[in-house]
Amino acid sequence: MTRRRGHRGEPGQASLLIVGLAFVLVLMTAVVVDASAAFLQRQGLDTVADGAALAGADAGARGEEAYTEGVDEERLRLWADSARTGVADYLARSGAHERYPGLTVEVAVDPTGRRVVVRVRAPLDLPFTVPGSPNRPVIGAEGAAVVAPRR
Amino acid sequence: MRSRDERGSALVELTWLGILLLVPLLWIVLSVFEVQRGAFGVSAAARSAGRAFALAPDDTTGRTRAEAAARLALADQGVTEAPVEVAVTCTPYPTDCHSGTSVITIQVRSRVVLPLLPDLFGGGRPSFRLDASHTVPIGQYVEVTAR
C-alpha cells in the first residue's frame, strides 16, 4: 500500500522540476534583458551628454575675455547662458528628445568658468516587469567639455 | 500492473518537456544576448567613429579612421563578421565636414544574424538590424574652409 502511494506521487515530479526550472530561467532572462536595456540607455545618454557638452562648450566660449583680461593659455572662458543655448540647440538638432522621451537636461559651468558640465536624465520603459524591479526607472549620464585654444 | 506501467514515465516526461520547453527557451536566450551584444557594439561604434572622424585632419582620413574605429568597437564586443556601414552627413557644408561651425552626424548600421537558424525557411538567414548615431560639432573657432 505504502509503495503504491509513493508511486502515485511520482508522475509529475519531473515535469514540475522542469517547469520550475524554465520559470526561473525566464525570470533570470527578463532581469538580464532589463539590466542591459538600462545599460544601453545609459550608453546612449552618455553619447548625448558628450555631444551636448562639446556643443555647449563651443557655444559658451564667446571670446569676450579677449577684450578685458586676455585669453587664457589653456582654457577659454565659458558663459553659462550661451552654453545653455548651445546645448538646447544641439539636443533639438540631434533628435535626442524624440529618441529619449521625457529627457531633462541640466547645464552648469564651473565656478572658474572654464568647464561646462551637462547632465541628462531620461525615464526608461523596462521591457519586462520583474517583481522587485523599479516602477519608473530614470537613467542619467554626464558629460563635460572645455575649449582649449591651439597655437 | 499500474505501478509497472508508470516505470520510465519520468524519463519520457523529462525528455519531452525538456525538448519542448527548454530548447526553445535556450534559443530565445541565445538570440536575445546576441542582439544585445550587437546593440552595445553598434552604440559604442557610433560614439568612437564620431570622435575619430572629428579628430582627423580631413574628411578622407576621417572616413577611414571612423570605419576603423567602428570596426574596432564592434570587435570589442565580439562582433567581427557582421557587415558594418558607416554613414557621415554634415550640416551646413555637406562636402567639407571639417570646416568651422560644421556639425557631423555619424550613423553606424549593422546586422546580427540570429544563431542556430539555417536557411530553413528560405529568403536567407533571419537577422536583426541595428543602428546608432552620434552628432559631433566641429566648433566655431576653426577655419571655415568650405566655399
pLDDT of residue B18: 81
Residue matched to cell numbers 519531452 = B16
Rounded CA-CA distance B52/B74 in Å is 15
Cβ neighbourhood burial of A109 (10 Å; 0-12, 13-18, 19+) = buried
B14 interface with A at CB cutoff 8 Å: yes
Residue B4 has pLDDT above 60, yes or no: no
pTM: 0.83
CB neighbours of A13 closer than 8 A, spacing ≥ 6?
B10
Closest Cα partner for B132 from B41, B46, B37?
B46
The answer to whether B28 contacts A29, with C-beta atoms less than 8 Å apart, is yes
Helix A13-60 / helix B9-17 crossing angle, nearest 10 deg: 20
Report chain B residues whose CB lies below 8 A from the CB of A11. Answer: 6, 9-10, 13
Collapsing DSSP states into helix, strand and coil, what is residue A116? strand
Backbone angles phi and psi of B46, in degrees to 5: -60, -40
Report chain A residues whose CB lies below 8 A from the CB of B46. Answer: 47
With CA atoms as reference, the chain B residue closest to A34 would be: B36
Per DSSP, which regions of chain A are E strands?
104-109, 115-123, 138-146
pLDDT of residue B82: 86
* Mean pLDDT (chain B, rounded): 86
The answer to whether A39 contacts B40, with C-beta atoms less than 8 Å apart, is yes
B144 interface with A at CB cutoff 8 Å: no
Rounded CA-CA distance A64/B49 in Å is 33
The closest CB to that of B137, out of A18, A36, A55, belongs to A55
Backbone angles phi and psi of A100, in degrees to 5: -125, 85
pLDDT of residue A10: 57
pLDDT of residue A9: 54
pLDDT of residue B147: 67
- To the nearest whole angstrom, how far is the Cα of B133 from the nearest Cα of chain A? 9
pLDDT of residue B1: 47
Q: CA B131, B132, B138 angle in degrees (round to 5)?
A: 140
pLDDT of residue B29: 87
The answer to whether A40 contacts B40, with C-beta atoms less than 8 Å apart, is yes
pLDDT tens string B33-89: 889 999 999 999 999 999 999 999 999 999 999 999 999 999 998 888 889 999 999
pLDDT of residue A18: 81
pLDDT of residue A134: 83
pLDDT of residue A3: 46
pLDDT beneath 70: ranges in chain A: 1-12, 151
